[in-house]
Every structure is written in structure tokens, then in C-alpha cells.
Amino acid sequence: MTEALFLLVPFALGTILASHGGLLGYRLPRKGNVVWVPSKCEGCGRRLSLLELLPVIGYLLARGRCRECGYRIPVGYPLSEMFLGLVFAGLWLKLGPSGAFFRAAVALTLLLAAALSDLEKREIPDALSASLFFFGFLFWGLSGHWSAPVMGALACGGLPLALALICPRGMGGGDAKLALGTGAVLGPFAGALALGVASVSGAAWALCLRRKEVPFVPFLFGGAVFALLLS
């Protein structure tokens, strides 16, 4: 029982970071201030109260709408918050409160922001790729594994980088930079697994929907979740 209660901690952390990831994904491509500006209603610009800003709970209390202007809050927000909360609870069960847990948490938050930005704007902010690199070297460096971020970047980003150079229409430079950064945080094994899962699922998706262009980052996010939880 107490153990189940303890899982509320990573769950809450996941919902809060997902909510911040959503904010990053929304504001970075619009060159908005991502640190100091409090969240506003996208419909009327009204500043949201602390209660309304609570992940998942705020959405449920407001029944999905702004109480002033009736703006319908996209259901993707509470869903992605719930999802990341559950993933964090799973990671906590596997890793406990360790450096590996926080490395995974930072990686998934930044990847979620990049996936949302890619889905909405077809744009991947360089700040997110650079942050992944930074945290990759920081976390691995603190545990004395200096080669892991380099090997990871090659394992996850080497192939996308080669593809982007040979066939820029098939793979964008932004995708390649993000894959390099993702590998730097995940390390070589999880990085390679995330790329493999992303490629297979992305290709299957493109085949099923008969699409030529599929955004890559949402699949890389899914691949990273798979690799971190199951490897």
C-alpha cells in the first residue's frame, strides 16, 4: 500500500513535466518566453489560476473549457500528462530514485516537447536537441561514463544524420540533430533500440496510412519510452 502511494510521486512529477514539455513544444517554435511567462488561456489571453494550471486536475475541474471564453482545451494536453505520469511511475518501479531515473525523465520531457512541436509545426527547435546533448553529457559524466553519450549519439543519430546528408527530403536535418541528442541522453543500447523501434513503427504507420511523409519525432519519443521501460 505504501509502495503504491510512493508511486504518486513519480506520477505527479510526470504530469508536471509533461505539462511543461507541452509549454516548451508550443512556445519554442513561436519564439515565446519559455521560462517566466505564466500560462495564459490560448483563447482569450486570461492568466490561468494556480488551480487551473494543475496538470490533469485543472483540465477535469474546468471540464476542458476556459470559464471566461469557452475555449476548448485540446484533450491531447491532459492525455499526454496522464501518459507521462504513468511512464514515470513505471520507470520509478524499475530504477528507483536514481540518476538513471532523472536522466530518463529529462530525456522524455524534452522529447515530448519536440514531438508536439514536430506534430503541430513540423519544426524541431534546436534548443531541445542542444538540451538533450547537454543533459546527456552531464548525467553520464556525473556517473563517470564519458564515452556513453558519444557512443549513444552515434548509435541513435548516426543513421539519421547519414540519411539527412544523402537524402534531405527523406530525413530533415532537425530530425537528425534531435536523434543525435536523444542518443547522447539514452546511451548506446537504449539509443539504438529507440531508433529501431521508431523506424519500424514509423514505416508501418506510413504503409498503413499510405503516407509518404511521416513526422519522425513522435515515433522517436515512442521508441525512447519503449527502450527505457523495457530494456
Residues that bind Zn ion (rule: CB under 5 A) add up to a total of 7
**163 with 136: CB under 8 angstroms?**
no
> Of 123, 126, 145, whose CA–CA distance to 136 is shortest?
145
Nearer to Zn ion, 39 or 201 (CB): 39
Q: Measuring CA to CA, how many Å separate 89 from each of 82, 85, 218? A: 11, 6, 21
**222 with 198: CB under 8 angstroms?**
yes
Residue 65 within binding range of Zn ion, rule CB under 5 A = no
Least separation in angstroms between residue 42's CB and Zn ion is 7
Nearer to Zn ion, 71 or 205 (CB): 71
CA 35 distance to own-chain centroid: 17
Q: Binding Zn ion by CB under 5 A: which of 34, 53, 62, 71? A: 71
Alpha-carbon gap, residue 208 to 54, rounded angstroms: 37
By CB under 5 A, the residues from 41 to 60 that bind Zn ion are 41, 43-44
**176 with 164: CB under 8 angstroms?**
yes
Query: Residues with Cβ < 8 Å from 74, sequence gap 6 or more?
Result: none
Contacting range for Zn ion; rule: CB under 5 A; set: 12-20, 66-74, 76-84, 158-166: 66-74
By CB under 5 A, the residues from 6 to 45 that bind Zn ion are 41, 43-44
Contacting range for Zn ion; rule: CB under 5 A; set: 71-79, 101-109, 199-207, 210-218: 71-79
Least separation in angstroms between residue 45's CB and Zn ion is 7
187: phi > 0 → left, psi -120 to 50 → alpha, else beta; which?
Answer: left
Alpha-carbon gap, residue 33 to 45, rounded angstroms: 15
Q: Binding Zn ion by CB under 5 A: which of 23, 24, 54, 66? A: 66
By CB under 5 A, the residues from 153 to 212 that bind Zn ion are none
Least separation in angstroms between residue 69's CB and Zn ion is 3
Contacting range for Zn ion; rule: CB under 5 A; set: 25-33, 69-77, 107-115, 149-157: 69-77
Residues forming contacts to Zn ion in the complex (CB under 5 A) are: 41, 43-44, 66, 68-69, 71
